[in-house]
Copies of this chain bind each other. A is one copy, B any other.
């Protein structure tokens, strides 16, 4: 029996969160004089990366944070990047350091991410933060999975005991997502490129988070009726009429309607939550550093 599928409004939730973060930043400034400060580092000229860092910096300023963007040449040495990170680690007015990925080939991503002070690692990619997430510790959690969790909990309340399927096992989304779902008490399955029978797995999932980056990978007919679907995929595909391109998710949205209980649209679902959660991470870092006496009031 077809259900009336709810479209999860990520933009609206992200706006609410952004207002909460703005209010928190204002409270912190009033109480301590500390204004949360985000520093973004972009190496090279990747067009998408340029858009991402600009957007993050603009959002930060829009909610009353400070923001500095370093845009460095594509031929930057790893040593120079590590020196910049060391300076930002030591800078008592900086609370969040974001190195935009991907990095050019002469720079070792792993070494760079591990060089960021874990307390300022607002992407949550430092091994220390990854480890805290994976062992019930209290570290910084990657933004996109955090955003997905907020949408899921707003939709479903407690997730305890639900069957959760994560499609994709990247370090940025899939794996931390699985950790969060496990912490929430879900029975968690993780599928990926080597998975042999995805439809059967999908059919058992009360909730599905897809971060495969594969347009239309998941058919609506595979879904368990009444499932909640979070689509992290952002895939650019040719329009059906051949006239330009459009953005679609990993899940066939039109097929999921009438079968899923709720689904995030692409765009307008998870995407807006990611930046709002990033800025929330900056605020939390500033709050923690201030509480530990490790940061300075704005000059």
**Does A239 sit at the interface, judged by CB under 8 A?**
no
Main secondary structure of the interface of A (DSSP, over half): mixed
Not counting A110-B137, A130-B130, a sample of 13 additional A-B residue pairs whose C-beta atoms are within 8 angstroms of each other reads A127-B135, A130-B131, A131-B131, A131-B134, A134-B171, A134-B179, A135-B175, A161-B195, A185-B194, A187-B191, A188-B190, A189-B190, A200-B204
Residues of B within 8 A of A139 (CB): 127
Copies in the complex: 2
**Does A160 sit at the interface, judged by CB under 8 A?**
yes
**Does A132 sit at the interface, judged by CB under 8 A?**
yes
Are the C-beta atoms of A190 and B182 separated by less than 8 Å? yes
Instruction: Give chain B nearest CB distance to A129 CB in angstroms.
Output: 7
**Does A39 sit at the interface, judged by CB under 8 A?**
no
Task: Give residues 106-132 of A contacting B (CB, 8 Å).
Answer: 110, 125-132
Residues of B within 8 A of A66 (CB): none
Listed A/B pairs (27) with beta-carbon separation below 8 Å = A110-B137, A127-B127, A127-B131, A127-B132, A127-B135, A127-B137, A127-B139, A129-B131, A130-B131, A130-B135, A134-B134, A135-B171, A135-B175, A136-B171, A160-B194, A161-B194, A161-B195, A169-B182, A182-B190, A182-B192, A185-B192, A187-B192, A187-B194, A187-B196, A188-B189, A188-B190, A189-B190
Interface size class on chain A is: 35 or more
Cα distance, A171 to B196, chains bound together (Å): 28
* A129 nearest CB neighbor, chain B only: B131
Instruction: Give chain B nearest CB distance to A122 CB in angstroms.
Output: 16
Residues of B within 8 A of A137 (CB): 110, 127
Which of A136, A187, A192: most chain B CB closer than 10 A? Answer: A187
Residues of B within 8 A of A204 (CB): 200
